[in-house]
Structure 1
Amino acid sequence: MTTALAAALMVGTTGCTFDAEIATNIPYEPSDGTGTVVGDIAVRNALLITEDGETLNLVVSLVNQSDSDRAVTIQWEGESGRESERVLVDGSGSTVLGGPEQQQIIIEGVEVTPGALYPVFFQYGDEPGSELLVPVLDGALPEYELYVPSS
């Protein structure tokens, strides 16, 4: 009786996680940025760096998962309305934006506080785009000092 009861209890309690989703299979951004996928383009670790809240530097990696080159349009609401910039991402390659030696997309004339989220839209070709709420950070952390735009 005791053995049967122990076996039933063990099966009953271990079965609770039988259909639970495995946490390591849940995609997430392991850093301060955010991301999405637009067709063949993976937008990874997007964040905005600012010192004064009026000039923002977009730091992001764009990864092309196809063999064809893609021209990605990045849009945001700037001082003169809807603004955009096109960025070429080589087939099976990646483009990193925002570093001191890399192409930079500077958003100017806005008022946003570090810690806020700022909408940035990513799209290419006929693919439906995706608007991300991108975290705004300042250069207080040493790893972001090089990304602070000059005002």
Structure 2
Amino acid sequence: MTAYQKVLVGIDGSKQSAMALKKAIATAKRNQAQLYLLSIVNGPASGRQSSFGFLDQSAYQQNTTAMEKLLAQKKNEAVAAGVSAVATKVLSGNAKVELSTGFVTREGIDLVVVGASGLNVVGRMIVGSTTAYVVREAPCDVMVVRTDEDNQPLAIEKASYPKM
């Protein structure tokens, strides 16, 4: 069995992605693999304006800056845990596409680590589950993290919707 060489973890600031990072760090260490921390800010690919444009360019830039800071912190966490090669990237685009085929194909990723979906049934029906899409479309192995470091079930964050 060949060891994983390039491990990608999707980071969005949720509890699920934090736990996915912990398991990705352990996997990267065990395999002496390069670890990629990727965050995708919803928007047109490469930050280009679409025909609709960004509703608020400053809000988009604030989100990008916040994710860059978060990834820098997570990179420090991975390095402190003993992963020698860690790369970070914030992209503009669609998380489903980048985590399944876009970034994965461009970088030759051989393992994607993602947290289980935090959406409820209605949310998954409306926007779909990024995790389910990645599992279905990725050309490489996908690890879906549902448990904590002790393999105990992880309390899933649910999106809350206003009462009508």
TM-score (norm: length of structure 1):
0.27
Larger radius of gyration: 1
Determine which structure has the larger strand proportion and give its number: 1
TM-score (norm: length of structure 2):
0.25
